[in-house]
């Protein structure tokens, strides 16, 4: 048997590096593959604890990282997308979900018989050293040969998995010589002290920031045959405490509730260890259970890892309110640093921590753009109302809202630029592009809202007024514009293609209606039924309303273009020439709005 040497340590460290890198590649690929769908469901949590636990398990298994899961929750709470209470069940589920990795690693401990045959072959193929090269080959081929990003991501997941398993094999092989080392066995006797086991497990996991990595190391050392259940259990508990370090590091500069998310996570682990470890030691001493002195293997370590996390979940589940209260004792209420800026309206969801999981950041940004669209819609509706019913307070609100919309555009654009620099899926890339284009249109619509306010204020200040005929015309075209605004914004917010296809026919009606109203205006000027001064204001109002409708058309076309993967100009040309539905919708809108105009007044 080869003696343990410095080269075995090199191999052990190299294996750990392979393991952690493979885990990172695999989890990144899995996170991209989910496209944020699982994570977005976290924002829709209810008070249903079981649902929260199952979802936390699902997301953690999907992205293979409980640390990333907790950092996500910190970001969600800090940005106001979730409450502290909603995260508790998800944290419990994440703790259970993270044990899935340990069960995957158990494949490395499959025993094969030397008798040959189909069963022996199948068992041997389940061992990582047998199938990892094939998995890596398939992954590399997919990365190099596939054109679709989704298939490339699957290839990266396979390569990451193969690298992870290769790292595990290297770590296991490096410690094989320790099986015969008496010095190593004497060293392990120190871990008969459970307190030391907890501290070592927590310290090592805190340094590498991966409970999967520390559990993998523990499994590798178990191959030496000197680790017992009694020694391993405290180390496993310590590993679970140490994995909270990543979450704690993510709490710098966040709200108090966001800090409490991380502290709730670590309190569950610490209190769970404080309660369960003495109980186990008492049982071991009182009942003299022989299992604690038996040699542990991969399956034993995975089982203890799972039992600990399930036990803490069962233990704390009835006391979630008390857990929240305890976290508030650790992080006490006080004046927030940003309290002086409370009056300044800010966007929900755009937390820098979410950029670590780009698909989640994309969805958070979509929530922010919907918030911006709602404010823009509210602003333009107020501006349309103010044309004929001027109100100084409403005018001031519109101007203030326009400033907020401008600020929102800058904030979202900067966030989207950061996302676009990350590695994101083709689907997320299209969503980012759609948001960038749409927020520009939102901002321009709010500019036109201010222009309408200026026209209304001019009429008010000069104490002039439109004729009844002109007022009727403004009401007709603003009704059409209002309907188109509602269609365009609903299409964007709900990603509703059916509604989006209604915008362009109505936009065509608005264009023709604007031409008709301009012709009628010229007739009034010729007949001295309108002053030149009022004529200029009327023209400005029509121009701004027409531009607003143009931007509504842009928004709808962007929604259609992104989801139906069609070119902007191709769609417009195609739909106006060949689409019967377009012509039917146009006819319906034209009949509705043109029928309200008095007949025979146009020259």
Q: Nearest to residue 244, comparing CAs of 174, 290, 312?
A: 312
Please report the pLDDT score of residue 603 as a whole number. Answer: 36
Mean pLDDT to the nearest integer, 231-239 = 91
Mean pLDDT to the nearest integer, 209-220 = 84
CB atoms within 10 A of CB 498: 8
Q: Which fold has domain 357-463?
A: Methane Monooxygenase Hydroxylase; Chain G, domain 1 (1.20.58)
Residues 6+ away with beta carbon under 8 Å from 45: 51, 52, 55, 82, 86, 89, 90
Secondary structure letter of residue 295 according to DSSP? B
Please report the pLDDT score of residue 524 as a whole number. Answer: 83
- The helix/strand/coil state of 228 is strand
Q: Which fold has domain 466-603?
A: Methane Monooxygenase Hydroxylase; Chain G, domain 1 (1.20.58)
Please report the pLDDT score of residue 33 as a whole number. Answer: 67
Region(s) of the chain under CATH 1.20.58.220:
357-463, 466-603
pLDDT tens per residue, range 66-75: 777 787 788 7
CA 598 to CA 475: how far, in whole Å? 13
Ramachandran category for residue 116: left, alpha or beta (phi over 0 → left; psi -120 to 50 → alpha): left
Mean pLDDT to the nearest integer, 17-45 = 70
Residue that has been written with the tokens 């619509």 in this structure: 445
CA torsion, ordered 18, 19, 21, 27, to nearest 10 deg? 150
Tell whether the model's pLDDT for residue 87 goes beyond 60.
Answer: yes
CA torsion, ordered 516, 520, 526, 532, to nearest 10 deg? -90
CA 33 to CA 512: how far, in whole Å? 47
pLDDT tens per residue, range 300-348: 999 999 999 999 999 998 888 898 899 888 888 765 444 334 445 667 6
Please report the pLDDT score of residue 171 as a whole number. Answer: 83
CA 36 to CA 34: how far, in whole Å? 5
Average pLDDT, the chain: 83
Please report the pLDDT score of residue 339 as a whole number. Answer: 38
Residues 6+ away with beta carbon under 8 Å from 162: 22, 132, 133, 135, 136, 139
CA 224 to CA 177: how far, in whole Å? 7
Residue pair 541/387 in contact by the 8 Å Cβ criterion: yes
Residue pair 104/19 in contact by the 8 Å Cβ criterion: no
Q: Residue 566's pLDDT band (boundaries 50, 70, 90)? A: low
β-strand partners of 295: 228
- pTM of the predicted protein model: 0.70
Tell whether the model's pLDDT for residue 583 goes beyond 80.
Answer: yes
CA 522 to CA 470: how far, in whole Å? 12
Alpha helices in 421-464 (DSSP H): 426-461
Please report the pLDDT score of residue 115 as a whole number. Answer: 54
Tell whether the model's pLDDT for residue 216 goes beyond 50.
Answer: yes
Q: Which is higher by pLDDT, 11 or 529?
A: 11
CA 138 to CA 144: how far, in whole Å? 10
CA 111 to CA 99: how far, in whole Å? 22
Please report the pLDDT score of residue 345 as a whole number. Answer: 64
Please report the pLDDT score of residue 342 as a whole number. Answer: 40
Q: In sequence order, what E strands does 100-258 have?
A: none
Mean pLDDT lowest for which of 137-146, 193-202, 309-318, 593-602?
Answer: 593-602
Q: Nearest to residue 109, comparing CAs of 21, 218, 8, 234?
A: 218
Tell whether the model's pLDDT for residue 16 goes beyond 60.
Answer: yes
Please report the pLDDT score of residue 341 as a whole number. Answer: 42
Mean pLDDT to the nearest integer, 238-253 = 83
Q: Which is higher by pLDDT, 570 or 165?
A: 165
Q: Is 307 exposed, middle or buried (0-12, 13-18, 19+ CB in 10 A)?
A: middle
Mean pLDDT to the nearest integer, 284-307 = 86
Mean pLDDT lowest for which of 74-88, 114-128, 346-360, 421-435?
Answer: 114-128
Q: Nearest to residue 256, comparing CAs of 74, 81, 89?
A: 74
Q: Is 253 exposed, middle or buried (0-12, 13-18, 19+ CB in 10 A)?
A: exposed
């Amino acid at each position: 048997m080869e003696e343990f040497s410095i080269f075995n340590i090199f191999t052990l460290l190299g294996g750990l590096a392979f393991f952690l890198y493979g885990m990172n590649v695999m989890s990144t690929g899995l996170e991209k593959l989910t496209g944020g769908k699982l994570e977005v469901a976290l924002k829709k949590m209810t008070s249903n604890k079981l649902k929260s636990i199952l979802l936390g398990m699902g997301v953690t298994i999907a992205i293979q990282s409980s640390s990333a899961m907790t950092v996500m929750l910190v970001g969600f709470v800090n940005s106001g997308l979730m409450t502290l209470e909603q995260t508790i069940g998800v944290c419990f589920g994440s703790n259970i979900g993270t044990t899935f990795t340990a069960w995957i690693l158990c494949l490395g401990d499959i025993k094969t018989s030397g008798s040959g045959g189909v069963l022996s072959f199948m068992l041997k193929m389940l061992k990582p050293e047998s199938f990892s090269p094939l998995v890596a080959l398939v992954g590399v081929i997919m990365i190099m040969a596939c054109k679709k990003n989704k298939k490339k991501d699957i290839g990266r997941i396979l390569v990451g998995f193969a690298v992870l398993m290769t790292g595990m094999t290297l770590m296991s092989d490096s410690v094989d010589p320790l099986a015969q080392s008496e010095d190593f066995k004497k060293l392990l006797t120190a871990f008969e002290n459970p307190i030391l086991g907890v501290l070592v497990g927590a310290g090592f996991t805190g340094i590498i920031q991966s409970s999967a990595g520390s559990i993998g190391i523990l499994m590798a050392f178990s191959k030496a045959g000197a680790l017992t259940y009694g020694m391993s259990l405290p180390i496993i508990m310590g590993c679970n405490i140490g994995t909270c370090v990543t979450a704690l590091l993510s709490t710098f500069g966040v709200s108090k509730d966001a800090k409490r998310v991380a502290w709730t996570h670590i309190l569950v682990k610490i209190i769970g260890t404080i309660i369960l470890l003495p109980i186990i030691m008492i049982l071991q001493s009182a009942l003299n259970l022989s299992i604690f002195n038996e040699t542990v293997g991969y399956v034993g370590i995975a089982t203890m890892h799972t039992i600990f996390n399930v036990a803490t979940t069962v233990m704390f589940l009835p006391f979630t309110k008390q857990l929240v209260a305890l976290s508030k004792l650790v992080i006490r209420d006080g004046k927030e640093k940003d309290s002086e800026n409370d009056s300044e309206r800010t966007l929900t969801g755009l937390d820098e921590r979410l950029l670590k999981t780009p698909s989640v950041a994309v969805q958070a940004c979509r929530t922010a753009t919907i918030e911006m669209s709602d404010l823009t819609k509210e602003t333009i509706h107020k501006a349309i109302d103010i044309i004929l019913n001027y109100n100084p307070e409403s005018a001031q609100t519109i101007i203030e809202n326009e400033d907020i919309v401008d600020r929102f555009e800058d904030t979202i654009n900067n966030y989207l630029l950061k996302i676009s620099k990350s590695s994101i899926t083709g689907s997320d890339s299209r969503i980012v592009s759609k948001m960038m284009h749409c927020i520009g249109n939102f901002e321009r619509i709010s500019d036109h809202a201010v222009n309408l306010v200026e026209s209304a204020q001019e009429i008010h200040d000069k104490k002039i007024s439109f004729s009844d005929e002109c007022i009727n015309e403004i009401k007709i075209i603003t009704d059409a514009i209002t309907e188109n605004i509602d269609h365009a914004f609903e299409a964007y917010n709900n990603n509703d293609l059916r509604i989006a296809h209604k915008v362009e026919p109505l936009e065509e009606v608005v264009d023709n209606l604007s031409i008709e109203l301009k012709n009628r205006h010229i007739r009034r000027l010729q007949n001295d039924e309108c002053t030149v001064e009022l004529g200029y204001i009327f023209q400005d109002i029509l121009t701004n309303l027409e531009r607003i409708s143009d931007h509504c058309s842009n928004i709808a076309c962007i929604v259609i273009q992104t989801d139906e993967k069609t070119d902007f100009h191709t769609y417009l040309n195609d739909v106006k020439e060949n689409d019967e539905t377009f012509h039917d919708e146009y006819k319906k809108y034209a009949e509705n709005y043109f029928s309200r105009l008095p007949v025979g007044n146009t020259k």
